[in-house]
């Protein structure tokens, strides 16, 4: 099937018209000033580059996969040349500090590139994506010596990076990890252990790979409080970053997966490898979660990009595929049959894909702005508030965007009918690739418990916090907007449910777990309702340069969202309120 162009116009609409990037930038004290015109040029140039160089590799990457032989991994044909061109063109260093060779642009620029990478090839997107996370963690927690030795190469893309958490006997429960770190006389540590599910753990794109490894230093207490973080390179280097010997880091095998086959997933062995402490001893999770929060947003964006790609591919097919006549009479009497686009159910599926993809894009970029504000806003109050909003939005963005991607990519197959089940049409690959997004960087269930247990119950004492306040403030400031009344009723429902869950938690703790995923999904639908109300309001004024057809379609999309998607909240609220009785009544032997 033909490769679709990236949704550049909608990206520009969200960044500039909806979220006002220039106003956002004015409150930051770290990034190079960037106007809307320049940001639009970055979006257009990166989309063009990836359309020409990355998109043609996506199908072959799935079919060829990564190859493992004698500890070495070969990425799919074309990835190495793409990686070199990507780095040479500066796409890997957009938001990096100029001190280390970066361009000093806002984090939002990196987020947009992340979406485009995933839109054209989600497997490819993991290689530069993981390196960005390592760079971010090292920048915040590394010593000056480690930064000088590793940051320039990570920024330029000369070296790549990974995060190494999971072990064979423990997944999410990191308190069970056994990888050890023994201190040496020179201040380094000897790291020994096995890590699994390591994305980009070994590959042929760079000469060195910098692993961020969670391990337990000698004498540390059991549980998560005894975990430290270590930088462990694949190859050692001198003070001038010249590469030397292997560092006793090896890839034992790679996984054979359902999808995302062009992204290598490794079993990694550390056999007395030399590593250096990052951050404070026994406080490794704090540093790791600096990377994890961005990684979780990036994973959500992968889901959003899959939704967009599935919509774009299905729309082309729905325009071209002739099948039957419209039940209200022939729409194209000069053709043998009408395009399937005329049928109401096909439109239902297409529009569901569309409003989810476009709504999730707005949520992703909003979350990115809060993450950036929390770190770099010049006003302390703004930093504190954005910290709370960003933390609350991150698990919603990660889980909601990836769960809805399973629905939208399934619709992509369904719109193609039997052809969607055939590999050459590309729809089934999006569905297979998208499944991992609901799993890695913390499953949907983990995100839901994080939202309800840590973010809502602990941090915000059973309330929606500043995010709820922001939505309520918009409602009060826009009483005549088309969807204010509907949005207001749903923010009231959301607020009431958060209070009810908090009230039951102490007496019936299992109710918290039983409600968590439904509450997260309801949260996502309400946040999207807010953003669709705002997009409708902006589009109704038509003050940008996107054209009358674009603004009309945006308003009709908002109507579809409020009439056909938002009512899902009613059923979610009903299941939340039933508690955990039906789940916990079963004895173990009754399963």
Least confident range from 239-243, 326-330, 440-444, 462-466: namely 239-243
Q: Which of 202, 358, 403, 441 is the catalytic position? A: 441
Residue 170's pLDDT is what? 86
pLDDT of 172 > 90? The answer is no
pLDDT of residue 2: 59
Q: Which tokens go with 97?
A: 């500090």
pLDDT in tens, 416-426: 999 999 999 99
Give the model's pLDDT for residue 544.
85
Average of per-residue pLDDT across 172-198: 94
Is the pLDDT at 31 greater than 70? The verdict is no
Give the per-residue pLDDT at 362.
98
Comparing 203-207, 384-388, 544-548, which segment has the lowest mean pLDDT? 544-548
Q: At what angle do helices 284-320 and 107-120 cross, to 10 degrees?
A: 50
pLDDT of residue 3: 80
Residue with tokens 């390591």: 198
**Does residue 143 register a pLDDT over 60?**
yes
Instruction: Tell whether the model's pLDDT for residue 551 goes beyond 70.
Output: yes
Please count the residues of the chain: 591
CA distances for 404 relative to 213, 243, 291, 315, 576, angstroms = 32, 44, 24, 18, 19
Give the pLDDT score at 345.
Answer: 98
356-374: per-residue pLDDT in tens? 999 999 999 999 999 999 9
Backbone angles phi, psi at 231, to 5 degrees: -90, 120
Q: Is 441 a catalytic residue?
A: yes
Of 73, 167, 59, the C-alpha closest to 432 is 59
On the question of pLDDT at 401 being above 70, the answer is: yes
Question: Is residue 75 within 8 Å of 262, Cβ to Cβ?
Answer: yes
Task: Indicate the DSSP class of residue 337.
Answer: S
- State the pLDDT at residue 1: 56
pLDDT band at 263 (very low <50, low <70, confident <90, very high): very high
Task: Work out the average pLDDT over 6-11.
Answer: 97
Mean pLDDT score, 27-43: 87
Beta strands in 200-306 (DSSP E): 209-217, 227-233, 235-237, 243-246, 249-254, 265-278
Tell me how far CA of residue 72 lies from CA of 84, 179, 248, 268, in angstroms. 19, 23, 14, 12
What do you get for the CA distance between the two ends of the chain, in Å? 45
Mean pLDDT of the chain: 95
pLDDT at 4: 87
Q: Is the pLDDT of residue 174 over 90?
A: no
Stretch (H or E) spanning 297 = helix 284-320
Question: What percent of the chain has pLDDT above 70?
Answer: 99
Q: pLDDT value at position 294?
A: 85
Nearest to 486 by CA among 547, 565, 545, 539: 565
Angle, CA of 467, 473 and 477, to the nearest 5°: 150
Buried residues in 29-62 as b, exposed as e (16+ CB within 10 A): eebeebebeebbebbeebbebbbebbbebbbebb
Q: Residue 12 burial (CB < 10 Å; 0-12/13-18/19+)?
A: buried
For residue 565, count other CB atoms closer than 10 A to its CB.
19
**DSSP helix/strand/coil, 191:** strand
Q: Which residue has the tokens 């088309």?
A: 482
Q: Tokens 């899959």, residue?
A: 306
- With DSSP H G I counted as helix, E B as strand and the rest as coil, what are the percentages for the chain, rounded to 5? 60, 15, 25
Q: Is residue 136 predicted with pLDDT exceeding 70?
A: yes
Average pLDDT over residues 126-134: 95
Q: Give residue 289's pLDDT band: very low, low, confident or very high (50, 70, 90).
A: confident
Better pLDDT: 174 or 100? 100
User: Distance between alpha carbon 142 and the CA centroid of its chain, in Å?
Assistant: 24
């Amino acid at each position: 099937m033909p490769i679709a162009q990236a949704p550049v116009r909608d990206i520009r609409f969200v960044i500039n018209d909806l979220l006002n990037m220039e106003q956002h930038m004015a409150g930051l004290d770290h990034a190079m000033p960037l106007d809307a015109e320049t940001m639009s040029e970055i979006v257009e140039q990166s989309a063009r580059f990836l359309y020409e160089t990355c998109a043609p590799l996506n199908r072959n990457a799935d079919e060829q996969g990564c190859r493992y032989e004698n500890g070495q991994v070969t990425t799919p044909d074309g990835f190495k040349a793409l990686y070199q061109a990507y780095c040479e063109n500066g796409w890997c260093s957009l938001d990096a500090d100029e001190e280390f060779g970066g361009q000093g642009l806002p984090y939002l620029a990196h987020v947009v590139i992340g979406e485009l990478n995933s839109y054209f090839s989600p497997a490819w997107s993991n290689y530069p994506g993981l390196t960005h996370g390592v760079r971010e963690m090292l920048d915040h927690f590394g010593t000056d010596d480690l930064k000088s030795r590793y940051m320039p190469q990570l920024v330029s893309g000369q070296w790549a990076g990974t995060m190494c958490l999971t072990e064979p006997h423990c997944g999410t429960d990191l308190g069970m990890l056994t990888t050890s770190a023994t201190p040496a006389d020179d201040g380094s540590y000897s790291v020994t252990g096995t890590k699994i599910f390591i994305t980009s753990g070994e590959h042929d794109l760079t000469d060195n790979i910098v692993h961020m490894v969670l391990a337990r230093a000698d004498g540390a207490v059991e549980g998560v409080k005894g975990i430290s973080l270590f930088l462990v390179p694949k190859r050692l280097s001198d003070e001038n970053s010249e590469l030397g010997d292997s560092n006793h880091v090896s890839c034992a095998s790679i996984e054979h997966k359902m999808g995302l086959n062009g992204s290598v997933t490794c079993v990694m062995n550390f056999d007395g490898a030399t590593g250096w402490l990052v951050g404070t001893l026994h406080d490794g999770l704090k540093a790791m979660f600096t990377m994890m929060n961005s990684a979780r947003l990036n994973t959500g964006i992968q889901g959003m990009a899959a939704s967009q790609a599935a919509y774009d591919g299905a729309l082309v097919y729905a325009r071209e595929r002739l099948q039957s006549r419209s039940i209200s009479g022939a729409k194209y009497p000069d053709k043998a049959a009408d395009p399937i686009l005329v049928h109401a159910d096909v439109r239902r599926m297409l529009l569901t894909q569309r409003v989810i993809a476009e709504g999730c894009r707005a949520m992703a970029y909003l979350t990115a702005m809060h993450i950036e504000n929390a770190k770099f806003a010049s006003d302390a109050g703004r930093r504190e508030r954005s910290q709370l909003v960003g933390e609350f939005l991150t698990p919603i963005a990660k889980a909601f965007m990836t769960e809805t991607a399973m629905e939208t990519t399934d619709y992509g197959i369904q719109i193609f009918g039997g052809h969607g089940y055939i590999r050459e049409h590309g729809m089934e690959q999006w569905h297979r690739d998208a499944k991992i997004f609901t799993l890695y960087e913390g499953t949907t269930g983990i995100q839901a418990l994080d939202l309800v247990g840590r973010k809502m119950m602990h941090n915000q004492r059973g309330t929606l916090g500043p995010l709820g306040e922001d939505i309520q403030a918009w409602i009060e400031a826009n009483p005549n907007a088309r969807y204010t009344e509907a949005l207001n009723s749903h923010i009231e429902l959301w607020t009431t449910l958060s209070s009810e869950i908090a009230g039951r938690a102490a007496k019936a703790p299992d109710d918290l777990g039983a409600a968590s995923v439904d509450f997260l999904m309801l949260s996502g639908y309400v946040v999207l309702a807010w953003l669709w109300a705002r997009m409708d309001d902006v589009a109704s004024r038509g003050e940008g340069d996107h054209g009358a057809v674009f603004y009309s379609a945006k308003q009709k999309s908002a109507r579809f969202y409020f009439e056909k998607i938002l009512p899902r909240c009613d059923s979610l609220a009903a299941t939340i309120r039933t508690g955990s009785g039906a789940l916990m009544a079963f004895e173990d032997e009754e399963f």
